[in-house]
Structures are given as C-alpha cells and as structure tokens.
Structure 1
Amino acid sequence: MMRAGLWAAALALTLIGGQVSADSSTVQTAAAPARGDVTNLPIPRYVSLKGSTGNARRGPSLSHRIDWVFKHSGMPLRVTAEFGHWRRVEDREGAGGWVHYSLLSGVRNVIIEEDMTELHMRADEASQVVAVAEAGAIMRLGACGLDWCEVSSDGVDGWVPKSGLWGVFPDETRD
C-alpha cells in the first residue's frame, strides 16, 4: 500500500511538470516560478494585513484552531500556499498559518530590519539623509532597483538599501 502511495505521488508530480529523481526523494521543478492554484499569482509573494488584526489558523477553514494573531495593520506577510479562499502566510520570523483572503491586501509594505536605518533622498549612500527609521517600522514599498527601494510612511519618503528590508525579494525590481 505504501509503495502505491509513493508511486501515485511521483506520478502526480510528473504530471504537473516536476521531475522525480531516481530515488523519488527529491523533486526538481522547471525554471518557471510556482503559481497559486487559485489565483495563478506567484508563490511565494508578499501581501499585507488589511485590518488591525488577523487570525492565522492551523488549517484552511474556520473550524481549525487559531495558532497566531497578527496585530499590526499593514504588516507585510509572505504567501506560501493557497487553498480556496485561504492563504498560508508567514511573517518575517516564520510565524503564521492559514488566513482568509479577505484579511489580506495586495498593497506592498516592508519592515525595516536594522535600527536607525537611514532613509536617503536618492538611491545613493552619499545622498542626503532625510529621516531615520527604527527596526520593526512598517513602511509602504515604492519603486525598487537592483540594490535600493523607495519607502514611505507618515509623509516621509526616502530610499533604503534593499538588504535592510523584509517584504521584498532580493532580485525584485519595481517602477
């Protein structure tokens, strides 16, 4: 019975574009990024918490236990899976669970990783510092180049090295 289950799993992986190695313990996928079964959007991707609280459940339904409660409006979250109206999300520390899609927004926010991060006038270390942000500050994500991203909050707008942000992919660029 166990072998039949492994064979069925290997067949399913092959049918969706994966290649199973000879020992069936590893899977190699094609170069195309993974897409969600429900939205056809990239997995993983970043979203933000729409309201001031959001329950993260053990599974994708209201009958599952609440494992975590997100309590910061605009908190960036990484979507790692989809099932019906539910999205599996995690925060920068890896905590999370299944959240109903109505609690999430496509607005992109980031978290400042280092305390006293300088926001520059331009995407240049030598440019004027316009503000300083504390570690954990949630800011709206704007344009991103290869190494810098524009962020804003409470009327302050500046550029920060991408490496100092959580909520944006290292190779991501935005206009």
Structure 2
Amino acid sequence: MNKVSAVLALTALVAGLLISAAEARAAERGPVTNLPMPRFVSLKADKANVRRGPSLTHKIDWVYTRRGMPLTVTGEFGHWRRVQDRDGVGGWVHYSLLSGARTGIVDRDLTPVRARAVPDAQVKARLEVGVIVHLDECGPVWCRVKVAGHRGWAEKAAFWGVTPGEVFD
C-alpha cells in the first residue's frame, strides 16, 4: 500500500468513526423514560429546588423561579432529572416539576414576531431578551410562538430552547 492509499484509508476510517459517534449520541435514550437525551423540557412549577444529587437528602444549590423556563434534560435517575439552563448551570430536579411543553427564551433583543413565516411579513410584536415564549411548532427556519396574547412567527435562531436542525409540530 502506498502512502496516498494509506492516508485515504485512514481518513475514511476516522470519518466513519466520527459519523458513528454522532449517530450514537443522536440515538441515546434516557434509562428511565426511554426518551431522547438530551432533550428540552420546561419548568412546570413557579419554584423548583435544584439539588446536587437525585434525592431530597442532597443539598439545594439554587431555586428556579420562572414558570415555563426551558431546560435541557441531560440525565435521569428514578424520579429525578438532571437539567441545565441556557447558561449551562444545572442540577437535579424532581420530574413532577417539569413539563414536556416546549418553550424558548429570547436571545436576540427586539426579536420580531411576524404575521407569517416570511422575513417581510407584518410585525405583530417585538420581544426583549429573556422573554419566555411557548413554541407551538418549529420548521427549519421559523417557529410559531405564543406570548402574552400574541401569536405569530419568529426566527428559530432567536431562541434558546430549540436546536437549529429540530423540526416539530
């Protein structure tokens, strides 16, 4: 085997390993719920203790106080879910305090909510950074949102709580 063939074979092997690793991560499932991991959820309660470990005996590190706040589930143990917020801060929360309802938090100041999912559609509202929206559905570029009595479409990239390639209705 010459050097070019060896390099091509090694490149193909590495590419195959990278694709296999990405597929394995995408196929990960929670050991308790069998739901995809990681996944987005939202805070169902007005207040949720975030603990160092998955039980009531573990110390409370902080308290989430924003109903509807999007979180990422990164671990499961019994009735407990390890979550992270958009800042990467997290811990263990009892599953009863979480909801599968999809929400997002605005990351771009004065994000326009439009009447239709096109860039030149009428602006119905503008959202400040930190506002929590309900995500009714998301396509490749746009999400249909609901917030404070307003419904419309906003660019998916303006929110934390949905991944760029994620589509749902």
Structure ranking higher in helix proportion? 2
TM-score range, shorter chain: 0.7 to 0.9
- Equivalent runs, 1:40-119 vs 2, <5 Å: 40-119=34-113
* % identical aligned pairs: 56
Report how many aligned residue pairs link the two structures.
Answer: 149
Report whether the alignment pairs 1:140 with 2:134: yes
User: Could you say if the C-alpha distance between residues 30 and 111 of structure 1 is closer, same or farther in structure 2, counting changes exceeding 3 Å?
Assistant: closer
User: Could you say if the C-alpha distance between residues 135 and 41 of structure 1 is closer, same or farther in structure 2, counting changes exceeding 3 Å?
Assistant: same
Report whether the alignment pairs 1:173 with 2:161: no
State the partner residue of 1:127: 121
Runs of 4+ aligned residues of structure 1 deviating over 2 Å after TM superposition are 27-32
In 1, Cα distance between equivalents of 2:103 and 2:139: 16
TM-score computed with the length of structure 1 as normaliser: 0.82
User: Could you say if the C-alpha distance between residues 139 and 61 of structure 1 is closer, same or farther in structure 2, counting changes exceeding 3 Å?
Assistant: same
Over the residues paired in the alignment, what is the CA RMSD in angstroms? Answer: 1.4
Unaligned runs of 5+ in 2: 1-19
Report whether the alignment pairs 1:149 with 2:143: yes
User: Could you say if the C-alpha distance between residues 119 and 29 of structure 1 is closer, same or farther in structure 2, counting changes exceeding 3 Å?
Assistant: closer
In 2, Cα distance between equivalents of 1:86 and 1:154: 31
Q: What is the CA-CA distance between 1:30 and the residue it aligns to?
A: 4.7
